[in-house]
Amino acid sequence: MRPILMKGHERPLTFLRYNRDGDLLFSCAKDHTPNVWFADNGDRLGTYRGHNGAVWSCDVSRDSTRLITGSADQTAKLWDVQTGRELFTFRFDAPARSVEFAIGDGLAVITTDNFMENVPTAQVKRIAEDPDDQSEDSLLVITGIKGRINRAVWGPLNRTIITAGEDATIRIWDTETGQCLKESDKEQGHQKTITSLSKSADWSHFLTGSLDKSAKLWDTRTLTLIKTYVTERPVNAVDISPLLDHVVIGGGQDAMNVTMTDRRAGKFEAKFFHKILQEEIGGVKGHFGPINALAFNPDGRSFSSGGEDGYVRLHHFDSDYFNIKI
């Protein structure tokens, strides 16, 4: 499984997202400019220029025509995927962190950080078909969370929004009323900041990664804990295979502690666990710094990782991977 090394960013990676067809890969980094790549051979297609700060996350519409990005420059932007043109800018009073389109692409949820006097929020925006009709008005603003919200994603049928972040608590919110429906159990849940959240292909369960050196699998409707995967390093990124019963977990110690170690000592590998048996299957080394982003291709036959070293590594699985027996 020889990786394809993709060098298009000058700063550490923050987020990776495949489009629904699995032929395009979008990457975000701290260098202000999201990139789009061919997911097959790793060739760079283009860039989206316009942000003035680190870009924390992105999402692409179901038909791969629109891209939304959230940035530390206190904006979220809508882009035309094909031309790279900026279509609209949502302005906030604080950095925009997590962005995601709802089913149908008519809505998006955007989170803003606790910055200066501002409390962290998750805001729902209507996404107009015609950019000229687009407005900045929020349909819903969710507040009442202490600490930064690192991820906010839509639940099944857009009825709920799931948030997770610095306070180590997962919450499910009603998208009609903005009320908190459920909170994760303090005893069973994470003990430190939740860094990442990834949904299964059928949305029945989701995976969270945390600085407490574990990843946890949850039921989307009931918020019951299903499985826990324990590693020996803080977890920065997680994803669930759409094809096999596998999860991938990546991380490493803080960037500021990295300089004294080589890539083996720093634990900078993507680790694969069996989703049901919770056993480690194997690891993929290569990054010279913590892994900050992971994504499986929707066909389950490849995955990509983005690191503190500024590289995106694209791995196509060989036939041995599909014959792993536990």
| DSSP letter string, 167-189 | TS--EEEETTT--EEEE--TTTS
Chain centroid to Cα 52, Å, comes to 21
For the chain, 326 residues long, the average pLDDT of each consecutive 10-residue run is 92 98 98 97 97 98 98 98 98 97 97 93 97 96 95 97 97 96 96 97 97 97 97 96 97 67 64 96 92 97 96 93 75
pLDDT of residue 256: 62
Hunting for tokens 């994504």 — which residue is that? 295
Going along 39-159, which residue ranges are E strands?
44-47, 55-60, 66-71, 75-80, 86-91, 96-101, 107-112, 121-126, 138-142, 149-154
* pLDDT of 204: 96
Amino acid (one-letter) located at 167: D
Burial of 281 (0-12, 13-18, 19+ CB in 10 A): middle
SS3 225: strand
Rounded distance, CA 274 to CA 302, Å?
17
On whether the pTM is more than 0.85, the answer is: yes
Tell me the C-alpha distance between 149 and 163, whole Å. 7
Q: Which domains, ranges and CATH numbers included, belong to the chain?
A: 4-322 (2.130.10.10)
Q: What pLDDT score was predicted for residue 326?
A: 61
To which residue do tokens 């634990």 refer? 267
**Cα–Cα distance between 74 and 91 in angstroms, integer?**
6
Q: What is the pLDDT of residue 252?
A: 87
At residue 254, the pLDDT reads: 66
Residues 293, 159, 64, 302, CA torsion sign: positive
- The rounded percent of the chain whose pLDDT value lies above 90 is 90
